[in-house]
Amino acid sequence: MWISSSRPSERQPAVIRNLLIWGTVAIVLIWPMAVAATSPLLAWRDSIYIAAGLSGVFGLALMTVQPLLARGVLPGLDGLHGRRWHRWGGALLLLTVALHIGGLWLTSPPDVIDALTLRSPTPFSVWGVIALWALGLAGTGALVRDRMPPRVWRRVHLAATTVAVTTTVIHAMLIVGTMGTWSKVALSGAALLALGHALYHSRIGWRRGR
């Protein structure tokens, strides 16, 4: 009786911890999406432009989750299970970027051309294009990872994703749009913290020769 009655109390702190982690993740991800989706700036925009903008916000949210999945720190998504979801998340991230750029192309082709050719007068466009190139490099590296030495692949992938997350945050912070100030700061900060966590532990792993 003593053993059976003690087990629920032993599991309770872990359950509370898991709920707090997932609750925090949900708030950080859902809050900016909700603010962007209900922004008054969307009142006169068509559905394609709205979808393109929300795809960009969702992409930044995915960038926040991706390092956590790779490190296996989310409850219930550790080890191989977490890395499997990390690969699916990477594919979904590339899809959201394609929807973001494609939607903007349909609504304003000249602006997209100016951005891709680095002729746009808006600074945030340049950072967005750099993020696009970095994500493309990360995605291409994932496709050919079996042809590269594991250590080389990890360094290239981590470098590309570091550039992608950093420049995406700069891109988002420079835009005065549908994302609220505080929700944008919270999501950008969360993305950088998740990236920093991955960089820190990867550096420890390299020092140990893993």
Separation of alpha carbons 81 and 34, rounded Å: 29
Torsion of CA 21, 26, 27, 30, to 10 degrees: 170
Query: Rg of the chain's alpha carbons, rounded to an integer?
Result: 19
As a whole number, mean pLDDT of residues 187-199 equals: 93
Lowest mean per-residue pLDDT among 25-29, 99-103, 204-208: 204-208
Contacts 24+ apart (CB under 8 A), 165-169: 165/63, 165/191, 165/192, 165/195, 166/192, 166/195, 167/127, 167/128, 167/130, 167/131, 167/134, 168/59, 168/60, 168/63, 168/127, 168/128, 168/131, 169/60
On the question of pLDDT at 3 being above 90, the answer is no
Other Cβ atoms within 10 Å of 176 Cβ, number: 10
Sign of CA dihedral 172, 173, 176, 179: positive
As a whole number, mean pLDDT of residues 118-134 equals: 93
- 3-class SS at 175? coil
Length of the chain: 210
Residue 202 — pLDDT band, cuts 50, 70, 90?
confident
**pLDDT tens-digit map of 78-120:** 888 888 999 999 999 999 999 999 999 999 999 999 999 989 8
pTM listed for this prediction: 0.87
